[in-house]
Chain A
Amino acid sequence: MSRFSERARIFAAAFALSAAAGVTAGFALDTYTGVGRPATPAELKAWDIDVRPDFAGLPKGSGSVAQGEAVWEQKCASCHGTFAESNKVFTPLVGGTTKEDVASGHAAALKRPDYPARTTFMKVATVSTLFDYIRRAMPWNAPKSLSNDEVYAVLAYLLNLAEIVPDDFVLDDRTIRDVQGLMPNRNGMTWSHALWPGTEFSGKPVAPDVQAAPCMKDCKKEVEIGSALPDYALASHGNLADQNRLVGPVRGQVTAASVKAEAGPASPAAIAETAGCLGCHAATTRLVGPSYVEVADKYKGQDVTAKLIAKVRAGGEGVWGSVAMPPQEEIKDEDLKKLLAWILAGAPNK
């Protein structure tokens, strides 16, 4: 609570400063005849979807942890994992926070250089951020398709996974305000820095935090190299000779075999990449979904192309586990056939 009042104080102070500085009220209107038109109330309602930390813009609605779990399994787990801790497609959402963090409002693990992950719940200070983002951008391949109640429910499930709310919790436009006071890193942000152009956050101008001097001669006794690129990493970005011109003062170093791009129609692997398949599938390793080799083995000798086309189009679950594959409606028929032929052949490199 104190954090919010402090924020309000800072904004008020910044406002007073700017008013004193004499920013003039701009009340010009309709400057250019015939350019632009008034937005209708229905249009404003359709697009005005943002939710601020003070919950301005929050729609009415509610959802329980249990309802959220059902939506999660169907629409979210394929990328984020059943417990939102998967690191396969995106960085983990949940993990790294404790009951002590919920009490203090500081994710203590952020102080530890050895701590391996920085999850969303370790970082995010404002619960409004999660509601706003899920509503506008999720699920990944079908943004803005969730109802407000579903957004509340999914967020309730996430808050439960993060051990912020109990199993029987119902999140709604009232209870979300209490949740803000439980966010594990709610006190984890600072605003007094020189990287914002203006004084809205700091209340006064802030000098840059690093002040170097432009020494020109004998600036130090020796040169200490802190880090150099290990040999094995030199080849990690392909053949550098191919990434530099063949004329000029320099050439690129030969670091790997040369790979020339092939012209012509998209390869099956490229189709899979474009359609987003490779987020969950790989040729030989199991990610969220089965590897293509596993798929090829399962259907070996069977004529399953028509069946698999229907499956990819409709999405579904149950064959390889409970994590659902999202429906693929965008991919062209001929591309899908080519893709399936490639998968059923075991996704060969060539």
Chain B
Amino acid sequence: MIRRDRDRTGGGPRIRPAPESFLSAEEIAAVSAGRRDFLRGSFLAAAAALTAGPAAAAENAGDDAILKLPPWSTSLGQPVAATPYGLPSKYETAMVRRQSPGLTQVAGSSVSFMPLQGMFGIITPSGLHFERHHQGWHDIDPSRHRLMVHGMSEDFVRKPKVYTLDDLMRLPSVSRLHFIECGANTGMEWGNVAVPTVQYTHGMVSCSEFTGVPLRTLLEDCGADLSKARFVLAEGADGSSMTRTIPIELVLSGEVMVAYGQNGEMLRPENGYPLRLVVPGVQGVSWVKWLRRIKVGDQPWATKDEAVHYIDLMPDGQHRQYTSIQEAKSVITSPSGGQILLDKGHYNVSGLAWSGRGKIKRVDVSFDGGINWVEATLQTPVLSKCLTRFNVGWDWDGRPAILQSRAQDETGYVQPGYRMLRAVRGTRSIYHNNAIQSWKVAMNGDVSNVQVL
């Protein structure tokens, strides 16, 4: 039934290249449905193709994709602004956000995962940014949105103020690239392998350029006493009025931002339109969406999502509270779980690394389950608290392999393996699983999710 059965059939790799340029749309669909015999039969010079592959076919007859001009080369194309807000190609339907069936019972308080398996570079297209809502999302009228900044008393903020979007967008702005990761990303895998692909193991991470005003600018404008301020509360305007205690250290450093822009346009409604907090390096729940209020105080608030959820259960039955930083983590996105390598030969093994404590310093990749490692190339830019793309070449010889990546950040922190992480944190937490991810490559080219201890 399932392709995995081929694991047990033994023998060498049975994969043949799938030269789509030889095939019609129907034939491509058949290939993607796993019908490889059909693929073989459809080559122009079937015998030649079976023995020597498509190159021979091209020599004998030539490639129809070249010899027969396609419609897009022989007809008039669409005019400008045919789609006033552009859409991905109709061939890109595989790259969408998805839910993990059974993870939650109510879609209004749930998660959708970003399709990491098909993304390039470090920027997440805004429409593919992962979602995590606690009481559903709204599309808020920006002209009716307000941000209130105040303190526990006038000792903390002398002049409580209200800002409109008109106000905020007049202030000096900054644009910065940062990753955002849900504290529960990879949380389904604390105890054992649970999901098939990188979309579900690691898809609660995204990365955007955010534009807005440093929160410190607003606090100063309201006359906040920054020597008294110890904690800041951020509150959303949605039904849940999500509240989180924000670390003052990141506010004072200027990193925490009140953002309205995302990747050059306004925030998407699912990401907090028209205003959200950006708290670089800290888990996504603190990046309060639909931000309506900032309050300065001297004690933490123990809000529901820092006292009942987003707390880390340790083996001794105690919970760690106010765990916020996303520690260094990485994952190979191609090839990754649920995929098939098409043939032996060269691959560019590519993935993402990130750290809530600063820049990624290096990423190592193993092809033998962590016995030996090689250093991957970091693709520029390498920015603080931002996704970093890494690449390393690999010639697959058709034998079984286990691919892993291991990130180090500029503080010297090294991403741990499962054995080491569980020795300290146990297996029952939900949050902050940054263990090394392993992808097993079988002889038939199937890639699957395994945990190496």
Contact = CB atoms under 8 A, between A and B. Distances in A.
B152 interface: yes
Nearest to A126: B302
Given A144-B241, A195-B324, A218-B371, A15 B299 contact: no
- Most chain B CB within a 10 A radius of its CB, from A89, A107, A226, A235: A226
Q: Which of B109, B247, B339, B371 has the most CB of A within 10 A?
A: B339
A258 B172 CA distance: 50
A217 B369 contact: no
Contact of B159 (A26, A29, A144): A29
Interface string A229-272: 10101111110111111111111111100100100000000000
Contact of A208 (B102, B308, B413): B413
A279 interface: yes
Contacts of B92: 245
A325 B302 CA distance: 32
A39 B161 contact: yes
B254 to A, nearest CB: 12
A189 B311 CA distance: 9
Interface residues of A, number: 117
Contact of A223 (B105, B194, B239, B368): B368
Nearest to B241: A136
A349 B31 CA distance: 29
A195 B304 contact: no
Contacts, number: 400
Contact of A37 (B115, B161, B325): B161
B167 A35 contact: yes
Contacts of B31: 251
Interface stretch (B53-61, B124-132, B312-320): B312-320
B33 A219 contact: no
Interface string B105-118: 11111000001011
A111 B313 CA distance: 9
B298 interface: yes
Nearest to B34: A254
B450 A228 contact: yes
Interface string B397-420: 000001000101000011111111
A50 B235 contact: yes
A235 B303 CA distance: 38
A190 B319 contact: yes
A36 B325 CA distance: 32
A143 B220 contact: no
Contacts of B149: 39
Contact of B311 (A28, A123, A252): A123
A66 interface: no
Contacts of A128: 302
Nearest to B7: A231
A169 interface: no
Contact of A195 (B148, B318, B323): B323
A303 interface: no
B105 A29 contact: no
Contacts of B373: 214-217, 219
B372 interface: yes
B65 interface: no
A100 to B, nearest CB: 13
A263 to B, nearest CB: 12
A191 interface: yes
Interface stretch (A51-59, A70-78, A289-297, A336-344): A51-59
Given A191-B322, A249-B342, A210 B452 contact: no
A133 B316 contact: no
A223 B369 contact: yes
A197 B281 CA distance: 9
Contacts of A208: 327, 413
A314 interface: no
A110 interface: yes
B363 to A, nearest CB: 10
Contact of B243 (A88, A136, A229, A247): A136
A17 to B, nearest CB: 11
B196 A255 contact: yes
B371 A143 contact: no
A211 B327 CA distance: 12
Contacts of A140: 108, 135
Contact of B162 (A36, A118, A137, A243): A36
B240 interface: yes
A159 B5 CA distance: 53
Contacts of A44: 148, 150, 160
B219 A53 contact: no
21 contacts: A19-B227, A26-B225, A35-B167, A39-B160, A47-B292, A50-B295, A107-B317, A129-B302, A137-B240, A191-B320, A210-B424, A212-B416, A220-B371, A225-B440, A228-B451, A229-B196, A233-B194, A234-B338, A237-B195, A237-B196, A246-B94
Q: Give the top 3 A-B pairs by smallest Cβ distance, nearest first.
A: A223-B369, A111-B317, A29-B223
Given A132-B301, A214-B364, 11 more contacts: A28-B220, A39-B149, A111-B316, A123-B308, A214-B406, A225-B440, A231-B2, A243-B117, A246-B20, A249-B348, A253-B338
